[in-house]
Structure 1
């Protein structure tokens, strides 16, 4: 089985090669790129394309690697022992499976998403090295070793908030999702807004890429944001002429979908003010 674009996801050729190479090598695929470029969605589409179940592990700043394996609930066991519950005699009743255990124990091969690994502590990736390498781990409370029935397809995403350890990087196949050019973006938009008028799409994307290339912009709008913006343009029934009349320095129509902080809004307001003074 080979990964390819789906009805709802346009994958560039180099991304398809990266996914299929990681699957063939049986190594985790580490995907980086700007927020909003479809890294998390990639895992869902890989699962759909390959006909596999998806198990998602979304990482937070407080997430520990051990939680991906299992957690032992000693407090519940102590409470049950005080209440005379018969469950206390089997410690397995107090072992909660983590996402890696679920992926290892699945009866068929699955896709395991470890999302935004760079949010966690710097030691988090190193703490998973052996488990991802050997596809097994030991449960100390029960004395059993959990081995993967089928080696899962592991996709790990990062927004580059932290540098990942070299030892971890060596074990991954790496791919950086480049921001789509205009032609690729048109294909993406067609998937989400089929039948959109060509003139409106061209005018909107021309305006969008002008905004992205603006000097001094703190946060450049992403793919997900342009899709939201186009949805609003269609809902408001704006024409290509409405967008062209604004000029490069004017605050864009429905800018709240594209500009996500006050500094960028103020930048456009200053540029518009200067353009008016220069008229």
Structure 2
């Protein structure tokens, strides 16, 4: 069972090595990188490549680790007991299975994605240490122990919004997805926009990387954003000449697909103003 990438996902050699190493070691694969570099999509493509189902747990700031195991609805049980409902005799009727429980008890091996773990409270990763390490947990209300029938392939993503605990990191295989270089980006574009004219692609990517390298940029555009931008360029049937910028307008065409805050737009307007002043 080896991951080699798919026709819809360009996986670099170091990324495929990391995925297969995590599978061999039976450890969670912790994937970090800029937003929009394909971390979440990686889990989906691993599942597709290996022919496995995927269970996705999207983490929010309010998510608690216990929710991934199970939740006990004591309020509903109390209400039903007051109404004389016979269901109250079985506490299991009020246990809601979480994503880890679903992954542990699946009939076949699955890919479990814990997406954007750094959004949760700092204690969230520590609260899952034993469960991910031992692949089991105890249900106190029923007295049962839930064990993984088949160890899932666990993919954990992080946007580096906060540091993760050392104890958690020790239990993971780590990989950082570097931002694609020009040649890798060409391969990614070919997957999403096959047959794009080379001259247009060269001009657009050159402009894109120049924009990313602009000093003072608050949010650098990502892979997903350049793909959206190229889709717009194709829809508008623009040529390489249409993309040329002069000192009067430093902003790229259809820049709303690339620049996502007013500070960065003002930065390019300021650069254009300074360029005009230097020519006078």
Q: TM-score scaled to structure 2, two decimals?
A: 0.98
Which residue in 2 is equivalent to 1:77?
Answer: 77
Which residue in 2 is equivalent to 1:204?
Answer: 204
Tell me the distance in 2 between the aligned counterparts of 1:248 and 1:56. 47
Please list, as runs of the form range in 1=range in 2, the aligned pairs for 1:1-279 lying within 5 A after superposition.
Answer: 1-246=1-246, 250-279=250-279
What RMSD over aligned residues (CA atoms) do the two structures have, in Å?
1.1
Structure 2: tracts of 5 or more residues without a match: none
Tell me the distance in 1 between the aligned counterparts of 2:45 and 2:234. 26
Structure 1: tracts of 5 or more residues without a match: none
> Structure 1, residues 136-172: CA drift from partner, whole Å, max 9, x if none?
0000000000000000000000011110000000000
Shift of 1:243: 1.3
How has the CA–CA distance of structure 1 residues 246 and 15 changed in structure 2, closer, same or farther, with 3 Å as cutoff?
Answer: farther
3-state SS of 2:113 partner? strand
The alignment covers a number of residue pairs equal to: 279
Tell me the distance in 1 between the aligned counterparts of 2:171 and 2:278. 57
Give the conservation status (yes or no) of the 8 Å contact 2:245–2:251: no
Shift of 1:248: 11
Q: TM-score scaled to structure 1, two decimals?
A: 0.98
Shift of 1:246: 4.2
3-state SS of 2:175 partner? strand
Deviating above 2 A after TM superposition, structure 1's stretches of 4 or more consecutive aligned residues are 244-249
